[in-house]
């Protein structure tokens, strides 16, 4: 780790306050320990920022372990608990973590937030985005240093692998905790880590460094495009409206990059809500010969086209909601969805689920563009909009109709209309009963 120590000494100014995002896992505990090695020489004030997500029974013990280590090494310990979640758990947790980090940056006037992302993390992130689709910038994953709101996010371990960090922790008796959920096959990242990454490493043990080179090349290309686009976007996108006539004179690659820039400008920190389908729908709307078009976008927004202009605005006729079902929820349409102990009702107003077959918690939300589900008894997906048409649901009711999903946003029930492949009939096969009325 001598190379990491030298980079830390070179990158971080003397007499600085440094915030270290510390989960308690081996990666962040190694980073915290490395910073101790340069603390005296650089006269640094180290601030350990730990977030307890309260999602695992081990969370409290991990917080105590990190705090104990900080007290022993004379490191400032800052602590936050997230005990209530809204919407997608992972996205909400990330949003709250960075709000916490931002407050600490201001409190300690720190120019740096250090995170323990390593080379394997970067490789997994790039592969996930290649699988799901992303923008050019997204395919780069993350960089060693990122500018954010007046400070830098620094990832000094980006050239190291998980194995190297684990070995270092063991050799130096550094305490750490292991998150057992990282072994679950329910998560895409875990499956990539367990099954794909080892195969790549058989081909090249330093494949993470090749992905780092790939990331840098993509980032350099992105920077070049940004310079090219500055002058073009001033002509094509004025007053938050896209000029269709001028836009269509550009090359396809420039067109897509302009759309990504517009979406980045609109969604900012919520850009992860956007995928390839939204970009393609945006492009199709611009190219469509119809003079007036309107399509829904995530986060209660709509894309509108009126003759030669296209823009994004808030959908004022759309009531957005996202509830986590714990026992009972009253919906905007005044219906209720509740968990019950037993029932003799076998209609579409009740579903019975096996908690081992879905990712908890259970969410209730309105429809989204592109929603699909696998109906009970069928082996193929069906579009939600086709179900609404088949069931003759009025257009004004479709936007607020409740859709039940798991935490991966997979639809597990369409209350009052259709059951999905997750519905179970025999009592030994289910442990959750939900009723809609």
Is the pTM here over 0.75, yes or no? no
Domains of the chain: 1-214 (3.40.50.620), 239-314 (3.30.465.60), 323-436 (3.50.40.10)
Average pLDDT estimate for 118-134: 93
The residue with greater pLDDT, 64 or 342, is 64
H or E segment and range at residue 51: strand 45-52
Is residue 18 predicted with pLDDT exceeding 60?
Answer: yes
- Structure confidence at residue 3 as a pLDDT band (50, 70, 90): very high
Is residue 228 predicted with pLDDT exceeding 80?
Answer: yes
CA 367, CA 315: separation in Å to the nearest integer?
14
- Contact 80/53 with Cβ under 8 angstroms? no
Give the pairing of strands 328-330 and 336-340: antiparallel
pLDDT in tens, 237-260: 999 999 999 999 999 999 999 999
Average pLDDT estimate for 359-387: 91
- Structure confidence at residue 413 as a pLDDT band (50, 70, 90): very high
The residue with greater pLDDT, 318 or 131, is 131
List the Cα angle 211/212/216 in 5-degree steps: 115
CA 152, CA 170: separation in Å to the nearest integer?
30
Is residue 271 predicted with pLDDT exceeding 60?
Answer: yes
Mapped to the 3 state alphabet, what secondary structure does 127-161 carry?
A: HHHHHHCCCHHHHCCCCCEEEECCEEEECCCCCCC
Give the total residue count for the chain: 437
Is residue 87 predicted with pLDDT exceeding 80?
Answer: no
């Amino acid at each position: 780790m001598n190379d990491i120590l030298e980079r830390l000494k070179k990158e971080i100014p003397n007499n600085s306050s440094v915030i270290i995002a510390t989960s308690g896992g081996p990666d962040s505990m190694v980073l915290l320990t490395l910073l101790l090695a340069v603390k005296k020489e650089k006269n640094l004030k180290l601030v350990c920022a730990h977030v307890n997500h309260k999602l695992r029974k081990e969370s409290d013990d991990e917080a105590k372990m990190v705090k104990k280590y900080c007290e022993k090494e004379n490191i400032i310990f800052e602590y936050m608990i997230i005990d209530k979640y809204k919407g997608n758990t992972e996205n909400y947790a990330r949003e709250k973590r960075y709000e916490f980090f931002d407050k600490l940056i201001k409190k300690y006037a720190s120019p740096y937030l250090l995170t323990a992302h390593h080379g394997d993390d970067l490789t997994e992130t790039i592969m996930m985005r290649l699988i799901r689709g992303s923008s050019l910038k997204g395919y780069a994953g993350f960089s060693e240093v990122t500018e954010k709101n007046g400070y830098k996010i620094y990832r000094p371990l980006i050239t190291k692998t998980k194995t190297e960090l684990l070995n270092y922790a063991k050799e130096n008796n550094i305490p750490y905790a292991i998150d057992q959920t990282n072994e679950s096959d329910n998560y895409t990242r875990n499956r990539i880590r367990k099954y794909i990454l080892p195969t790549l490493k058989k081909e090249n043990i330093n494949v993470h460094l090749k992905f780092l080179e790939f990331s840098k090349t993509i980032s350099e290309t992105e920077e070049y495009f940004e310079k090219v686009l500055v002058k073009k976007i001033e002509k094509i996108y004025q007053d938050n409206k896209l000029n269709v006539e001028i836009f269509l004179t550009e090359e396809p690659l420039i067109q897509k990059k302009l759309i990504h820039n517009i979406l980045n400008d609109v969604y900012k920190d919520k850009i992860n809500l956007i995928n390839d389908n939204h970009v393609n729908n945006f492009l199709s709307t611009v190219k469509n010969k119809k003079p007036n078009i309107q399509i829904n976008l995530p986060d209660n927004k709509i894309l509108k086209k009126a003759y030669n202009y296209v823009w994004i605005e808030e959908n004022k006729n759309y009531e957005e909601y996202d509830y986590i079902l714990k026992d009972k929820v009253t919906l905007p349409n005044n219906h209720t969805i509740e968990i019950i102990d037993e029932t003799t009702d076998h209609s579409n107003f009740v579903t019975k689920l096996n908690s081992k077959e879905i990712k908890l918690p259970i969410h209730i939300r309105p429809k989204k563009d592109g929603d699909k589900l696998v109906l009970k008894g069928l082996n193929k997906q069906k579009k939600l909009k086709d179900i609404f048409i088949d069931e003759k649901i009025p257009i004004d009711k479709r936007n607020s109709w409740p859709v039940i999903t798991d935490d991966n946003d997979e639809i597990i029930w369409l209350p009052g209309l259709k059951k999905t492949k997750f519905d179970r009939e025999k009592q030994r096969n289910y442990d959750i009963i939900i009723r809609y009325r």
